């Protein structure tokens, strides 16, 4: 039947026919199963017709694989900023990243006002060393404009072989020009946990992200810190922690509270309504006071931990309101090895507070140390973000003025502002400073240490939920 056709063309036509048959079969089954949803599935007729017309009339023979992937990406792009389609290659990279390492520049990105925007550079990575900041807008990657580029496509463009370079065009709020940044890709080991002693009997643990071995590393750190003298206080630093694996946030919470409910998920489908509890005993003495540091970059799994510790009265939360990423993404592997990252539920703290867009409000508010002209980025600022319980559709609409710089009065002012914006924010990153140097500039850390030293933090944990009233 395919005699006279070259094999690639035959394969493409076979794929084309397969797509039409699959769409038709899906439409038929769906409408038979639920006639009330007929209008929803009527759209599949349009999709099949568009596919047919493009294949028939486009000036050149289209690539059917690209058409299908484009349709799927477009479908998911209408949902929320965290749902996406991943090719086989992207699925493999995703699994590699959650296992603890990847090759790239080390930057978390999302979209704000349809512009690729830096959420935060990962501590100690090429992006951080190059001076990339939270709120920076990525206008171009290797001279290719990022307009209409999805986050998944951007990540694919940013990653590459170790030692190769990638050139960014960056717009920074407060500047009138594009900043070129050439960054050399490197192996990004996501060292999840760092720890040290802040003072005799007062420990410090920083979690940069929640990956496969995070709970194990936190347990090791707790045992090491308490090996000489029992801990009489702990600072748990979750600042700029973008999250990660849900099971690790549950296990980490259990290290401080034992076997308690940690988080609840609620979705549209019944199997997404789940209460998650820790199944292990606490490693840290329940009487040992804890101060948890959070800021605008604390998201997802780190908000789960902070919210649970706050609800039970187990820790004092200090810093700035968190990012507000309170949604669950389920990874669905497709038959060809590709996959979907699909938002399926919302997170709720043990007392029933929604994390989505609201985030976690600190018990003690201490402003974050931010660079000049910086703009904080939160979940509610992202395009198509999932509504929070205290948010309306009107709240979700972006402001037309948002993101616009102020009008310059004269050339001198502009030059002065440009120079100020490009001055080093700190002489060196916090993680490269000595403890004494950090305490001078890091007001959140220094206040946490002072509160613990002065005995002003108490653990009220009884295994019962504290009232969440007045906590925002």
Q: Which helix (H) or strand (E) holds 234?
A: strand 233-237
Q: Which residues of 242-264 are buried (b: 16+ CB within 10 A; e: fewer)?
A: bbbbbebbbbbbbbbbbebbbbb
User: What torsion, rounded to 10 degrees, do the Cα atoms 79, 80, 85, 86 define?
Assistant: -170
CA angle 104–105–108, rounded 5-degree value: 100
- Residue whose C-alpha is closest to residue 407's, from 398, 399, 417: 417
Contact in structure between 315 and 295 (CB atoms under 8 Å) = no
Distance CA 194, CA 217 (A): 9
114: which 2 tokens? 């349809």
Distance CA 328, CA 344 (A): 6
Distance CA 321, CA 310 (A): 13
Please give the backbone phi and psi of residue 310, each rounded to the nearest 5 degrees, phi first.
-70, -45
| Contacts with 16 (C-beta within 8 Å, 6 or more apart), sequence order | 51, 55, 64
Helix (H, G, I), strand (E, B) or coil at 247: helix
226: which 2 tokens? 């308490």
Contact in structure between 408 and 421 (CB atoms under 8 Å) = no
Catalytic residues: 300, 311, 325
DSSP single-letter state for residue 108: E
| Beta bridge partner(s), residue 85 | 340
């Amino acid at each position: 039947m395919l005699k006279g056709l070259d094999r690639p063309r035959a394969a493409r036509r076979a794929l084309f026919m397969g797509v039409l048959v699959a769409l038709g079969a899906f439409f038929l089954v769906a409408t038979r199963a639920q006639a009330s949803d007929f209008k929803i599935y009527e759209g599949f007729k349009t999709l099949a017709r568009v596919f047919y017309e493009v294949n028939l009339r486009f000036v050149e023979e289209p690539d059917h694989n690209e058409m299908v992937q484009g349709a799927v990406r477009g479908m998911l792009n209408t949902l929320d900023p965290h749902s996406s389609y991943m090719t086989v290659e992207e699925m493999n990279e995703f699994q590699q990243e959650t296992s603890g390492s990847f090759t790239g520049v080390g930057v978390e990105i999302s979209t704000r006002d349809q512009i690729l925007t830096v959420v935060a550079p990962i501590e100690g990575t090429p992006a951080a060393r190059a001076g990339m900041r939270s709120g920076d807008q990525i206008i171009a990657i290797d001279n290719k404009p990022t307009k209409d580029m999805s986050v998944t496509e951007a990540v694919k463009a940013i990653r590459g072989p170790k030692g190769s370079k990638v050139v960014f065009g960056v717009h920074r709020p407060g500047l009138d020009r594009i900043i070129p940044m050439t960054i050399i890709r490197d192996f990004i080991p996501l060292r999840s946990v760092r720890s040290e002693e802040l003072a005799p009997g007062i420990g410090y643990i920083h979690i940069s992200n929640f990956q496969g071995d995070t709970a194990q590393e936190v347990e090791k750190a707790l045992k090491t810190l308490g090996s000489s003298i029992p801990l009489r206080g702990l600072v748990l630093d979750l600042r700029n922690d973008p999250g990660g694996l849900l099971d690790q946030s549950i296990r980490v919470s259990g290290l401080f509270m034992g076997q308690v409910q940690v988080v609840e998920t609620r979705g549209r489908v019944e199997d997404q309504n789940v209460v998650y509890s820790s199944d292990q005993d606490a490693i840290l003495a329940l009487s040992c006071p804890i101060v948890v540091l959070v800021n605008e970059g604390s998201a997802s799994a780190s908000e789960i931990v902070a919210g649970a510790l706050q609800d039970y009265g187990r820790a004092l939360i200090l810093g700035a309101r968190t990012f507000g990423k309170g949604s669950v993404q389920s990874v669905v592997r497709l038959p060809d090895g590709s996959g979907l990252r699909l938002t399926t539920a919302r997170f709720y703290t043990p007392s029933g507070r929604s994390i989505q867009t609201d985030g976690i409000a600190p018990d003690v508010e201490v402003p974050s140390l931010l660079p000049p002209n910086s703009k904080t980025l939160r979940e509610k600022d992202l395009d198509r973000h999932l509504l929070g319980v205290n948010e309306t559709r009107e709240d979700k609409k972006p402001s037309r003025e948002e993101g616009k710089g102020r009008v310059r009065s004269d050339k001198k002012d502009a030059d002065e502002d440009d120079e100020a914006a490009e001055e080093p924010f700190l002489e060196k990153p916090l993680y490269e400073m000595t403890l004494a140097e950090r305490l001078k500039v890091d007001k959140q850390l220094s206040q946490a240490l002072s509160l613990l030293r002065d005995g002003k933090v108490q653990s009220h944990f009884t295994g019962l939920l504290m009232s969440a009233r007045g906590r925002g």
